[in-house]
Structure 1
Amino acid sequence: MKILVINSGSSSLKYQVLDMKTEECLVKGIVERIGEDQSDIKHKNKEKICENDKKIKDHEEALKEVMKLLIDPEYGCLKELSEIDAIGHRVVHGGEKFFSSVLINDEVIEAIEENSDLAPLHNPPNLTGIRAAKKLLPGVPQVAVFDTSFHHTMEPKAYMYGLAYELYEKYKIRKYGFHGTSHRYVSQKAAEILGKDIESLKIISAHLGNGASLAAVDKGKVIDTSMGFTPLEGLIMGTRSGDIDPSIPLFLLRKGYTIDEVDDILNKKSGLTGLSGISNDMRDIKKAIREGNKKAKLAYDVYVYRLAKYIGSYATILKRFDVLIFTAGVGENNPEIRKDVCDYLDIFELKLDEEKNNILNKEDRIISTSDSHVKVLVIKTDEELMIAKDTKKIVEKMGKN
């Protein structure tokens, strides 16, 4: 079975084709700046890379370009598009309607649309990708895989806010959590690497990219996660503030800032960018620290401190923890951050093997010592493979029925 995985953003379309016999990625790519005067296409198969620029007006046109590349004799992986057996879509917000991945039909599309109020920057472009694929590959089954669904095992005590209950009833204001596909993948992978049944493990997973979140996973089920009603809650991130006093936006509004300006500050001008005044990229922050920049050092210290504090609180609600996972761009590629976070966690008898931690490779691996009470792992996240696995499972079940 060959599955096309699509992750459609507001002005981008990321894609992969996976052969599910081997779970191998055959091609991957991204179309960026859709709708602008000049769009960028970056496409890679096992042997060659193709990059070109052209004007692409919308996601349907972007997907047409992708399909041309998929069957291109030099850069593609298919002889014809009929080899695509199914399409898996990343959808950010499933609200309270979707507790797992689902086969897409008209009712599902309508429900995703209804949840667009909860994710106005994400669900509409996700739907655009679904509609484009439906038009260009009619009859090919499509599956929606939701960022929020893995977190639906949280109990009300974890997902409810201290607000009037009527706000939950009226507007479904509650914690949902995000990055669920990544947390699910690395939790399962950790159990596999350790040779343990996931049912026996208490895991804290740290997805650290430009966006960042933690998940506390007990017996394979999430009991809490750091992102909330939106992806703004929780950890310090590249440009997002994470947790703040909720009165701060009100204070800024009373000082004359507009709603859009406050939204922009919290989501795009805070976090590492806001504290350092330099960049949202941890590589830039570390370079500035080496050059003696005090604001960069402050941004780094706040980032690490908040992360360690959250891990400690999750260890409390788990009542112990067996596994700590670092994943995503920052988590996978920054031994200094891993060490500095783990230095805060001595109370849990967590011992990092510094030699293993400092190895700069892309392999999934254990980086704690053999006598560490908590096993620490670095795992490369693979959300596309998780989406493809869910898609395969649902399509096979559909065939049996």
Structure 2
Amino acid sequence: MNYRILAINPGSTSTKISVYDNDQQVLVKGIDHLAEEISKYDRIQDQFNMRKEEVLNVLNENNIDIKTLSAVVGRGGLLPPVKSGAYLVTEEMIDRLVNRPVLEHASNLGALISHEIAKEIGVNAYIYDSVAVDELTDIARLSGVEGMDRASLSHALNSRAMAIKYAKENDKKYSDLNLIVAHLGGGISISIHEKGQMVDIVSDDEGPFSPERSGRVPCKTLIDRCFSGNYTHREMLKVIRGKGGIVSYLGTVDVREVEKMISEGNEKAKLVHDAMIYQISKGIGELSTVVDGKVDAIIVTGGIAYSNMITSAIKKKVEFIAPVAVLPGENELESLSLGVLRVLNGEEEARVYKEESLANA
């Protein structure tokens, strides 16, 4: 059976799309949205029609008839906690994302645009491995403060896709393996996958710093800064997400620039670069304890995984735990498309999104 799948991944200033015929990519395109255009909208949800029309225009320009699509999949947005895998986009999901989003985020538009295009041609719309995937065990959820439980927000889409890919390439089942996946990008998250379940994570605000996020910072110092009177709530959020990490030390979010600085003898750049590697390795080691050290492989992925300087240093620090596989790239469009292809092929079953059933999904 041949299937054609449109994948839509909205970001803050762009919308990336791809078309796959089964597992073969036939179109990939990034649509950039000018700052002047984005600034016209008060809420991210208000960008829906503009982004949808631009997606349709690109498909038309590339002679892709939407009537040939078998399914449409969007990046899963910030919903209440959901399980991994595929969810059918329902009216309840649309209502949540439009009227009661957990947080305004560009990825929320993935389901909205997918649903509208799919409805027009009479096929199903899906999300796959939402940002809100939550499979934490009860013991992993406790933070140390009553009423302040840990939340599962991570790069679930690419992390699970690379874990599944690793298993397949090694003739094993994802559900039979214990894998640690470190996603290294603008934000860094690390996850432990125990026999097919993402049972714990080190999120981007409780672990390694990254190019633009602070990671774990000293709580007392953070509280003092929050109440210093020198920062607004919004400014403090920016301190940890957007202005934290490498950019706070070196004024750049580009790891390639940092490595150029190092090659030119910049000692501070080397220290910051090494500290990020150190913290990533600590996070991997931390999660190895979740499965009593019985880790089958460690996977390093994300855009920063293209840096041999970083991946080789991480490997040196953690390969005593398990073999290290480097699968670079964000791979989000591929992950969305191949996830839904498994649903269409009957290898996975899509869940039906219903608010009242989330707790038992």
Q: Give the TM-score of the pair, scaled to structure 2.
A: 0.83
- For 1:299-338, list aligned pairs within 5 A: 299-320=272-293, 321-331=295-305, 333-338=306-311
SS at match of 1:36: helix
Structure 1 residues 112 and 101: alpha-carbon distance in aligned structure 2, compared to 1, 3 A threshold = farther
1:81 counterpart residue number: 66
Residue 220 (structure 1) aligned with residue 203 (structure 2): no
Flag the structure with more relative contact order, 1 or 2, with Cα contacts below 8 A and sequence separation at least 6: 2
2:159 counterpart residue number: 183
SS at match of 2:70: strand
SS at match of 1:213: strand
Supply the AA of the counterpart residue of 1:82.
K
Structure 1 residues 31 and 217: alpha-carbon distance in aligned structure 2, compared to 1, 3 A threshold = same
Q: Distance in 1 between matches of 2:181 and 2:319?
A: 18
Determine which structure has more spread, i.e. the larger CA radius of gyration: 1
Q: How many positions carry a matched residue from both structures? A: 337
Q: Distance in 2 between matches of 1:89 and 1:37?
A: 22
Q: Distance in 2 between matches of 1:4 and 1:335?
A: 33
Residue 121 (structure 1) aligned with residue 69 (structure 2): no
Structure 1 residues 260 and 152: alpha-carbon distance in aligned structure 2, compared to 1, 3 A threshold = closer
1:28 counterpart residue number: 28
**Cα deviation 1:59-114 (Å, max 9, x = unaligned):** 42343233233233xxx252x22112221010132323555421112112123446
Q: CA RMSD in A?
A: 2.8
2:8 equivalent among 6, 9, 22: 6
Structure 1 residues 125 and 103: alpha-carbon distance in aligned structure 2, compared to 1, 3 A threshold = closer
1:268 counterpart residue number: 242
Structure 1 residues 322 and 330: alpha-carbon distance in aligned structure 2, compared to 1, 3 A threshold = same
1:92 equivalent among 77, 90, 103: 77
2:354 counterpart residue number: none
Aligned residues of 2:77 and 2:105 also touching (Cα < 8 A)? no
2:43 counterpart residue number: none
2:355 counterpart residue number: none
Q: Distance in 2 between matches of 1:255 and 1:129?
A: 43
Structure 1 residues 322 and 134: alpha-carbon distance in aligned structure 2, compared to 1, 3 A threshold = closer
Structure 1 residues 232 and 213: alpha-carbon distance in aligned structure 2, compared to 1, 3 A threshold = same
Structure 1 residues 184 and 77: alpha-carbon distance in aligned structure 2, compared to 1, 3 A threshold = farther
SS at match of 1:94: coil
SS at match of 1:152: coil
Structure 1 residues 246 and 141: alpha-carbon distance in aligned structure 2, compared to 1, 3 A threshold = same
SS at match of 2:134: helix
1:103 counterpart residue number: 88
Supply the AA of the counterpart residue of 1:184.
R
Aligned residues of 2:159 and 2:183 also touching (Cα < 8 A)? yes
Structure 1 residues 294 and 192: alpha-carbon distance in aligned structure 2, compared to 1, 3 A threshold = same
Q: Give the TM-score of the pair, scaled to structure 1.
A: 0.75
Structure 1 residues 394 and 35: alpha-carbon distance in aligned structure 2, compared to 1, 3 A threshold = farther
SS at match of 2:104: coil
Structure 1 residues 152 and 124: alpha-carbon distance in aligned structure 2, compared to 1, 3 A threshold = closer
Q: Distance in 2 between matches of 1:394 and 1:197?
A: 17
Residue range with higher mean Cα deviation, 312-321 or 196-205: 196-205
Give the fraction of aligned pairs with identical amino acids, expressed as a percent.
23
Supply the AA of the counterpart residue of 2:57.
K
How far the C-alpha of 1:115 sits from its partner, in A, is: 6.1
Aligned residues of 1:201 and 1:322 also touching (Cα < 8 A)? yes
